[in-house]
Chain A
Amino acid sequence: RKEVEQDPGPFNVPEGATVAFNCTYSNSASQSFFWYRQDCRKEPKLLMSVYSSGNEDGRFTAQLNRASQYISLLIRDSKLSDSATYLCVVALNYGGSQGNLIFGKGTKLSVKP
């Protein structure tokens, strides 16, 4: 089983749509959780950290369910500029430190006019 699994995508949605991405992770020792965004042939950029209480940043809402080992990202009122690949990322605990990141393969989102 892969350490981080995501919806394979691609997701093709019209502008204004709400889109949800799901992700599961296999290692219960995972300590930190993130969503990164990667544009074509560019470096990944941190979109938001994910907390157990859930967190929101504008049109983006992230949720974490530790019991189910499940992470989600909701994008409301999608914009053309949201088109990118969304990477679900977890970090394990190495002696109290966050350590290196483990990436899902990513879900490609394409927002159409």
Chain B
Amino acid sequence: EAGVTQSPTHLIKTRGQQATLRCSPISGHTSVYWYQQALGLGLQFLLWYDEGEERNRGNFPPRFSGRQFPNYSSELNVNALELEDSALYLCASSPDSNQPQHFGDGTRLSIL
């Protein structure tokens, strides 16, 4: 069974640009979560989607947004990139919101 897949693996952008990160959950999983892991800060919750709806968002500015598609894959969009957005962005999925989450390998976003 394929795990959670994320693309791209690495993404290099400059300040002010926009970034799009993609996530395909494990087959059959309907809940998708996005987390940011910045150096020294630990994993911080960003967004939670379930059945195409945004269920909750973490303490991040509105320039962090996303969506979930009918096939349950998801996109994370970050607008007006800032240097401090440099981090590993991890996507996780679960069969439903009451099951343990399984993580993808992440997208490493570097802002120059």
Q: Which residues of A contact B56 (CB under 8 A)?
A: 94, 99-100
Given the complex of chains A and B, what is the CA–CA distance between A97 and B42 in angstroms?
24
Contact among B42, B102, B104, B105 with A103 in the assembled complex (CB-CB below 8 Å)? B42
Contact (Cβ within 8 A) A101 B101? yes
Footprint of A on B, CB under 8 Å?
33, 35, 41-45, 48, 50, 55-56, 58, 90, 92, 96-106
Given the complex of chains A and B, what is the CA–CA distance between A80 and B7 in angstroms?
32
Contact (Cβ within 8 A) A44 B48? no
> Which among A43, A102, A106 has the greatest number of chain B C-beta atoms within 10 A?
A43
Contact among A45, A46, A100, A106 with B48 in the assembled complex (CB-CB below 8 Å)? A100
Footprint of B on A, CB under 8 Å?
32, 34, 42-46, 49, 87, 94, 97-106
Contact among B43, B100, B104, B105 with A49 in the assembled complex (CB-CB below 8 Å)? B100
Question: Main SS of chain B's interface residues?
Answer: strand
Given the complex of chains A and B, what is the CA–CA distance between A101 and B44 in angstroms?
9
Contact (Cβ within 8 A) A106 B42? yes
Question: Main SS of chain A's interface residues?
Answer: strand
Q: Which residues of B contact A103 (CB under 8 A)?
A: 35, 42-44
Given the complex of chains A and B, what is the CA–CA distance between A87 and B98 in angstroms?
19
Q: Chain A: which residue is nearest B40 at the CB level?
A: A105
Shortest CB-to-CB span from A101 to chain B, Å, is: 6
Q: Which residues of B contact A100 (CB under 8 A)?
A: 33, 45, 48, 56, 58
Shortest CB-to-CB span from B52 to chain A, Å, is: 15
Q: Which residues of A contact B99 (CB under 8 A)?
A: 98
Q: Chain A: which residue is nearest B57 at the CB level?
A: A100
Q: Chain B: which residue is nearest A93 at the CB level?
A: B98
